[in-house]
Chain A
Amino acid sequence: MALSGMRGLSVFISDIRNCQNKEQERLRVDKELGNVRTRFKNEKGLTPYEKKKYVWKMLYIYMLGYDVDFGHMEAVSLISAPKYPEKQVALQSIGTTNMVGYIVTSSLLNENHDFLRLAINTVRNDIIGRNETFQCLALTMVGNIGGREFAESLAPDVQKLLISSSCRPLVRKKAALCLLRLFRKNPDVVNVDGWSDRMAQLLDERDLGVLTSSMSLLVALVSNNHEAYWSCLPKCVKTLERLARNQDIPQEYTYYGIPSPWLQVSVCVCVCNFLLSVISHTFRKRKNEILREVKTMRALQYFPTVEDPNTRRSLFEVLQRILMGTDVVKNVNKNNASHAVLFEALALVMHLDAENEMMSQCVALLGKFIAVREPNIRYLGLENMTRMLMVTDVHDIIKRHQAQIITSLKDPDISIRRRALDLLYGMCDVSNAKDIVEELLQYLSTADFAMREELSLKAAILAEKFAPDLSWYVDVILQLIDKAGDFVSDDIWFRVVQFVTNNEDLQPYAAAKAREYLDKPAIHETMVKVSAYLLGEYSHLLARRPGCSPKEIFSAIHEKLPTVSTTTIPILLSTYAKILMHTQPPDPELQKHVWAIFSKYESCIDVEIQQRAIEYFALSSKGAALMDILAEMPKFPERQSALIKKAEVAEVDTAEQSAIKLRAQQHMTNALVVTDQHSSNGTPQSVGQLSLVKIPSISGDVGSSCQEHTSADQELSQANGTLATVDPQPPSADLLGDLLGPLAIEGLPGAAVLSEPNAVSGLEGVPIPADDAAAIVPVEKDTNSVQPIGNINERFYALCLKDSGVLYEDPNIQIGIKAEWRAQHGRLVLFLGNKNTFPLLSVQALILPPVHLKIELSLVPETIPPRAQVQCPLEVMNLHPSRDVAVLDFSYKCGTSMANVKLRLPAVLNKFLQPITVSAEEFFPQWRSLSGPPLKLQEVVRGVRPLSLIDMANIFTSFQLTVCQGLDPNPNNLIASTTFYSETIRPMLCLIRIETDPTDRTQLRITVASGDPTLTFELMEFIKEQLAGIPTAPRPPAPPAAPGAQPTNPAAPVAQPTNPAALTDPGDLLAGLL
């Protein structure tokens, strides 16, 4: 089929096809773009046909992946091409032009595109117009790219079309999906009150096209508000019956003999959504979270059922029919279509409160599927079996298929291998852990790179959780390190050390194993670390075995020294010192050797190594005193596995996470995992097995300060007992944190209980309320009966620099925050955790955004169940530079009292900065080209907090400003660069220069330059705040600061968060906040 009439386009496509390489193609494309651009510029000569042709060309170029930064206007203008009904010819020719306009527009543009706003009116006229062709075109475009503005202005019209009796099916089905799009994107804008009756009517629709589209719409409506649509459920079941029995289905709607498989799938999804949304509304959780936790829900008898007995019976009958009536046939498409329905029916049965018989039918079917040769069915069999595990207690039946599943782990297809791994992970328990983990280990050596990390993490977790005995656990982890050392994170080997230290029986075994691995010719550095540590502590237990004399062990370890990095050397030095100490009577030769090593490292450039070398040298010359100082490591307090914690926090895979949680609850008693139940503060845990969701440990400010506290304690006690045997460098500060950190949140209720009775919380660490009153603005004095825990200001300032932590906490609730920033976009998740054993009611969260931020907060549940945590995602978009801060107005009811707090959200200027390194060649031309105000501002600031250049550089780095070394010839000056992202201006390079006076550190000259005057100003003010630590702009004397004075309103300085001068006046602060 030739492209009659559009020769230019065909020629262009052939030209592109004839290009030999990418270079030629680009040249041809550039040429064409140039051509189109000039033609568009002198628009006068363009006929609608030409316009159409050029727009198609642009679409083609765009599809190839090239940027087309012009002509959008022309595409949009094709939509608005004038129509003259009286001139039929013109109408039709424009009709086609119009069509092009719509399709190209919807392909070229995203929903956020400005140009689309221009088209809304025309689109609306088309939708409400009488011309069916135009209606269809307009609906298709809106359905494919409709955004918020479209929803606001078009939704009512689209709704009218959908239920209009005068419209033909072809318009109505498009209207249904168009409405679905608008509703999905902006459920708050599309008004669907009273739509349940209309949806019920639509389900009686004869035309299956309209019915299919309407069913998709209903799926979305139900997940949003199931109660309103409950009346539609019987009709859904009837539709499914009609389809499954093939009653009254037009021939053209059967697909390979199956009555519209798509509609059947859709109905099953819809019914399933009814059931799931009941739960998701009770618990305010997302659908896929619910999916993973159905089992727990069921245990709590929260599981909804289809109550109407007739509907229930029909549904069961039809599901039974689908389950039993699906045969494997030769035709691939027929097979796929029937199995698509079958799998959906299976999923529905899983979530229905079905009889056991039906459930076991499902398991039997799945068992059959995972053994077939057809890869698609096998994949889906494995996937659904994993889902089934989450939902019901079918462990024992599934275990029968273990061998088959393990075969799939070796399948040539990585998709299937992944599913098999997930399933094995899910089905593992104490009884089969040994087999499964060994299988995983065996597979690890041949597994492809893409899977190794996941594999080793999963193997480590399983080994830890279900170890039948500890020596097996040690074996597994050492093998893991041996086979996939690169993928074994520090957490894993720290955990081994913990276990070995805490179990005396295990120590000789572990040391012997470590000794064996040292004999291997090439071992991974992690292996060197763990063996050195273990042998340092416990090698004396092996002393009588062959090859285990202190000398031999020393030389085995020392052999590895040249191959390891500087982080490992300190561990080796400690080991040497320990070996020396354990060698009784002292071996002068060994001593000489070790001392030689110590003195060699005494001048090491690495401070940690140097310090250890010097200290160990001095200590070991003291003789017997060494014994006391280098005594064995004390036992570690029991705690939750850092691995499991990590898996929970990382949110890698929700399925995995909740599997961990479920398992942790089920196997608390027989596994090694020390769950939070045994937290040291001994708070009685009323939740136990049935707790819905464990509040994960957001190690926020309190958490980490608590951690620091204990680790400091621990360090103290270590100093008494032994000399630091673990290196306190950054990686191992981590180690201390991980090994010793208590569970942040589980540790807290105790503290909360303590502080509750103290109306004036005078506890140590809890700041004076007066200070807080500044940040919490009481709406009415008496409503705020709860006192916050911790300093809200400090928390805010800390969060300005970090991306996760606690934003607010009081005896009832903890609000954690986790943020991800990418260019001008930010995604924050608020974690609202109820700390009580009773629900928090009337929870409300409002965002008061400043003008420069666009913030969308998802629905916040009205109730937070006891000891549960809800997550509320928050989308932030930066429109233009400003230092104003968004405020979260949060309130809840606890008992009879209302609590209300206003919290600043850490969506501050520096979050939209990204560090960038600028070379001298780039810097100077840029610096010179930005000459003078308003693009370049300079200011001398006096009376600042004296800071050394290094401190200043650190502050800069923490705010995402790159400090460029050596650009400024004067060593007292500092140059920094960064990129600022916002929606309205392109990514903007910002350059900063600070000139200091070495004789007077309290004065600075700051120069800021960027391509945008507002940005320059805001950044200048921002830096002044950070460096100066004093109010920078003249502050109006009276508290009621006009909102118009925003730019001059300094937010409280970050560098000195507790600066009392800035914080004591609540009025000022309120003004600063809003």
Chain B
Amino acid sequence: MIQFVLLISRQGKVRLTKWYSPYTQKERSKVIRELSGVILTRGPKLCNFVEWRGLKVVYKRYASLYFCMCIDQDDNELEVLEIIHHFVEILDRYFGSVCELDLIFNFHKAYYVLDEILIAGELQESSKKTVARLIAAQDSLVETAKEQASSISNIIAQATK
């Protein structure tokens, strides 16, 4: 099971966090601090796994961003490494060659995407197409809601004039 997901920039800035096990805010900060110290300092040609407090962290760097997932000791590391890639590919498709800025300003969208891929720290959907379809459907729901809301407020505005 994936315990948590972290997206950390090369400078150690947190871009996204998702916790599937309960951690207090204090513990969360500590985890992030510790792991950034360990992972960001690792050289480029090392393996993608770090042993940490009896757990394992699988990470991969994409441009300036580190995607980290923490798993139990007997979980399959390579499988999780490819979950990360799967996530990145979906983000890429959704944002159209995704960059760090996309994730900074649209962190809420990244959450939507992640929630379609993982629940309870387990993979829920391995088809990129299906995930893309579901996210698109959600987006259109938001759009129509917004349009209609604004048209309603127009109507109200006109009516109260």
Contacts of A60 in B (CB 8 A): 107
Q: How far is the CB of A340 from chain B (nearest CB, A)?
A: 4
Contacts of B62 in A (CB 8 A): none
Let me know if A216 is at the binding interface, CB within 8 A: yes
Let me know if B123 is at the binding interface, CB within 8 A: yes
Contacts of B48 in A (CB 8 A): 375-376
With A100-B108, A252-B130, A262-B79: A184-B22 Cβ-Cβ less than 8 Å: no
Q: Can you list, as one digit per residue, whether each of B1-21 has a CB less than 8 Å from chain A (1) or not (0)?
A: 100000000000010111110
B78 touches A3 (CB 8 A): no
Name the CB-closest residue of B to A180.
B120
B47 touches A181 (CB 8 A): no
What CA separation (Å) do A747 and B149 show in the bound complex? 80
What CA separation (Å) do A255 and B107 show in the bound complex? 26
What CA separation (Å) do A212 and B79 show in the bound complex? 13
Let me know if A10 is at the binding interface, CB within 8 A: yes
Contacts of B24 in A (CB 8 A): 110
Q: Can you list, as one digit per residue, whether each of B109-120 has a CB less than 8 Å from chain A (1) or not (0)?
A: 101100100011
Q: How far is the CB of A491 from chain B (nearest CB, A)?
A: 24
Q: Residue B120 contacts which of A3, A67, A144, A418 (CB distance < 8 angstroms)?
A: A144
What CA separation (Å) do A133 and B135 show in the bound complex? 11
Q: B48, B77, B95, B152 — which one has the most chain A CB atoms within 10 A of its CB?
A: B77
Let me know if A263 is at the binding interface, CB within 8 A: yes
Q: Residue B46 contacts which of A107, A213, A375 (CB distance < 8 angstroms)?
A: A375
Contacts of B146 in A (CB 8 A): 5, 93, 96
Let me know if A63 is at the binding interface, CB within 8 A: yes
Let me know if B64 is at the binding interface, CB within 8 A: no
A415 touches B126 (CB 8 A): no
Within B63-89, the residues touching A (CB, 8 Å) are 73-74, 76-79, 81-83, 85-86
Within B42-60, the residues touching A (CB, 8 Å) are 42-43, 45-51
Let me know if A291 is at the binding interface, CB within 8 A: yes
What CA separation (Å) do A64 and B134 show in the bound complex? 28
A65 touches B32 (CB 8 A): yes
Let me know if A535 is at the binding interface, CB within 8 A: no
A208 touches B126 (CB 8 A): yes
What CA separation (Å) do A63 and B96 show in the bound complex? 25
Name the CB-closest residue of A to B43.
A412
Let me know if A283 is at the binding interface, CB within 8 A: no
B25 touches A62 (CB 8 A): yes
Q: How far is the CB of A634 from chain B (nearest CB, A)?
A: 43
Let me know if A170 is at the binding interface, CB within 8 A: yes
What CA separation (Å) do A339 and B144 show in the bound complex? 45
Let me know if A174 is at the binding interface, CB within 8 A: yes
A209 touches B126 (CB 8 A): yes
Contacts of B145 in A (CB 8 A): 89, 92-93, 95-96
B49 touches A103 (CB 8 A): no
Contacts of B81 in A (CB 8 A): 336, 340, 376
Contacts of A174 in B (CB 8 A): 119, 124
Within A143-186, the residues touching B (CB, 8 Å) are 143-144, 170, 173-174, 177-178, 180-181, 184
Q: How far is the CB of A600 from chain B (nearest CB, A)?
A: 49
What CA separation (Å) do A100 and B76 show in the bound complex? 32
Q: Residue B25 contacts which of A65, A99, A255, A337 (CB distance < 8 angstroms)?
A: A65
What CA separation (Å) do A139 and B120 show in the bound complex? 10
Within A41-88, the residues touching B (CB, 8 Å) are 49, 56, 59-60, 62-65, 67, 88
A95 touches B47 (CB 8 A): no
Let me know if A977 is at the binding interface, CB within 8 A: no
What CA separation (Å) do A180 and B20 show in the bound complex? 12
B82 touches A336 (CB 8 A): yes
A103 touches B141 (CB 8 A): no
What CA separation (Å) do A615 and B23 show in the bound complex? 58
A415 touches B108 (CB 8 A): no
Q: Residue A213 contacts which of B18, B42, B124 (CB distance < 8 angstroms)?
A: B124
Q: B51, B104, B115, B129 — which one has the most chain A CB atoms within 10 A of its CB?
A: B115
B126 touches A95 (CB 8 A): no
Q: Residue B149 contacts which of A10, A56, A89, A340 (CB distance < 8 angstroms)?
A: A89
With A67-B25, A415-B51: A95-B119 Cβ-Cβ less than 8 Å: no
Contacts of B79 in A (CB 8 A): 261-262, 265, 340, 344
Contacts of A416 in B (CB 8 A): 46-47
Q: How far is the CB of B40 from chain A (nearest CB, A)?
A: 14
What CA separation (Å) do A288 and B72 show in the bound complex? 11
Name the CB-closest residue of B to A260.
B126
A376 touches B120 (CB 8 A): no
Let me know if B125 is at the binding interface, CB within 8 A: yes
Q: Residue B126 contacts which of A1, A170, A263, A378 (CB distance < 8 angstroms)?
A: A263
What CA separation (Å) do A287 and B25 show in the bound complex? 30
B43 touches A89 (CB 8 A): no
Q: How far is the CB of B70 from chain A (nearest CB, A)?
A: 14
Q: Residue B105 contacts which of A3, A262, A263, A269 (CB distance < 8 angstroms)?
A: A3
Q: How far is the CB of A774 from chain B (nearest CB, A)?
A: 41
Let me know if A1017 is at the binding interface, CB within 8 A: no
B125 touches A209 (CB 8 A): yes
Let me know if A140 is at the binding interface, CB within 8 A: yes
What CA separation (Å) do A66 and B47 show in the bound complex? 32
A261 touches B82 (CB 8 A): yes
Q: How far is the CB of A629 from chain B (nearest CB, A)?
A: 52
What CA separation (Å) do A140 and B121 show in the bound complex? 11
What CA separation (Å) do A821 and B34 show in the bound complex? 23
Q: A62, A253, A291 — which one has the most chain B CB atoms within 10 A of its CB?
A: A253
Let me know if A842 is at the binding interface, CB within 8 A: no
Contacts of B138 in A (CB 8 A): 99, 133
What CA separation (Å) do A376 and B29 show in the bound complex? 28
What CA separation (Å) do A2 and B78 show in the bound complex? 34
Contacts of A5 in B (CB 8 A): 146
Let me know if B160 is at the binding interface, CB within 8 A: no
A89 touches B105 (CB 8 A): no
Q: Can you list, as one digit per residue, whether each of A662-704 has a CB less than 8 Å from chain B (1) or not (0)?
A: 0000000000000000000000000000000000000000000
A380 touches B130 (CB 8 A): no
A379 touches B115 (CB 8 A): no
A1 touches B119 (CB 8 A): no
Q: How far is the CB of A506 from chain B (nearest CB, A)?
A: 39
Let me know if B136 is at the binding interface, CB within 8 A: no
Within A96-137, the residues touching B (CB, 8 Å) are 96, 99-100, 103, 107, 110-112, 133
A1 touches B124 (CB 8 A): no
Q: Residue A379 contacts which of B43, B47, B123 (CB distance < 8 angstroms)?
A: B47
Contacts of A376 in B (CB 8 A): 47-49, 77-78, 81
Let me know if B93 is at the binding interface, CB within 8 A: no
Contacts of A213 in B (CB 8 A): 119, 122, 124
Contacts of A67 in B (CB 8 A): 25
Let me know if A820 is at the binding interface, CB within 8 A: no
Let me know if A858 is at the binding interface, CB within 8 A: no
Q: Residue A252 contacts which of B86, B129, B134 (CB distance < 8 angstroms)?
A: B129
A177 touches B73 (CB 8 A): no
What CA separation (Å) do A356 and B151 show in the bound complex? 74
A13 touches B105 (CB 8 A): yes
Let me know if A333 is at the binding interface, CB within 8 A: yes
Q: How far is the CB of B160 from chain A (nearest CB, A)?
A: 16
Name the CB-closest residue of B to A68.
B25
Contacts of A336 in B (CB 8 A): 78, 81-82, 85
Q: Please name 17 pairs of A and B residues whose Cβ atoms are closer than 8 Å in the assembled complex, sorted by A.
A: A65-B25, A65-B28, A95-B145, A99-B112, A103-B115, A110-B22, A110-B24, A144-B119, A144-B120, A177-B124, A252-B130, A340-B79, A376-B47, A379-B47, A412-B43, A415-B47, A416-B47
Q: Lowest 4 A-B CB distances belong to which pairs?
A: A375-B47, A340-B78, A181-B120, A92-B145
Which A residues form the contact surface with B (CB < 8 A)? 1-3, 5, 10, 13, 17, 49, 56, 59-60, 62-65, 67, 88-89, 92-93, 95-96, 99-100, 103, 107, 110-112, 133, 139-140, 143-144, 170, 173-174, 177-178, 180-181, 184, 208-209, 212-213, 216, 250, 252-253, 255, 260-263, 265, 269, 287-288, 291, 333, 336-337, 339-340, 343-344, 375-376, 378-380, 412-413, 415-416, 418
- Given A209-B127, A340-B78, 4 extra CB contacts under 8 A: A208-B127, A209-B130, A213-B124, A380-B78
